[in-house]
């Protein structure tokens, strides 16, 4: 039995940028923005700011609009 300060059994959660629901990280798709393009990072190895989206058709279809908001809010410059 782990002590109360241990991280054993902890399941990381992330928020979908489209529907804003918190879900287990393993159930989401990670993507990064490279030169204002969406690049899906299936192995989670790209060393850039990552964003997460649900694996549902509804969220994936609305992803482009959410990316436009991200670019505007962060004054994205492609770095």
Q: Residue 43 gets which letter from DSSP?
A: T
Q: What is the pLDDT of residue 24?
A: 96
Q: What is the pLDDT of residue 2?
A: 63
Buried b (16+ CB within 10 A) or exposed e, 11-40: eeebebbbeeeeeeeeebbbbbbeeeeeee
The domain 13-73 having CATH identifier 3.30.1230.10: the answer here is: yes
Q: What is the pLDDT of residue 73?
A: 79
Q: Where are the domains of the chain?
A: 13-73
Using the structure block, give the residue that is written with the tokens 């899906």: 40
Tell me the pLDDT band of 1, cut-offs 50, 70 and 90.
Answer: low
Q: What is the pLDDT of residues 22-61, one digit of tens each?
A: 999 999 999 999 887 889 999 999 999 999 999 999 999 9
Q: What is the pLDDT of residues 3-23, one digit of tens each?
A: 777 778 889 999 999 999 999
Q: Is the pLDDT at 77 greater than 80, yes or no?
A: no
Whether the predicted model's global pTM rises above the 0.85 cut: no
């Amino acid at each position: 039995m782990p002590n109360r300060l241990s991280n054993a059994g902890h399941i990381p959660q992330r928020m979908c940028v489209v529907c804003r629901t918190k879900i287990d990280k393993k159930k989401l798709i990670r993507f990064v923005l490279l030169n204002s393009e969406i690049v899906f990072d299936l192995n989670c190895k790209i060393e850039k700011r990552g964003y997460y989206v649900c694996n549902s058709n509804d969220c994936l279809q609305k992803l482009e609009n959410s990316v436009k908001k991200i670019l505007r809010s962060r004054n994205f410059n492609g770095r």
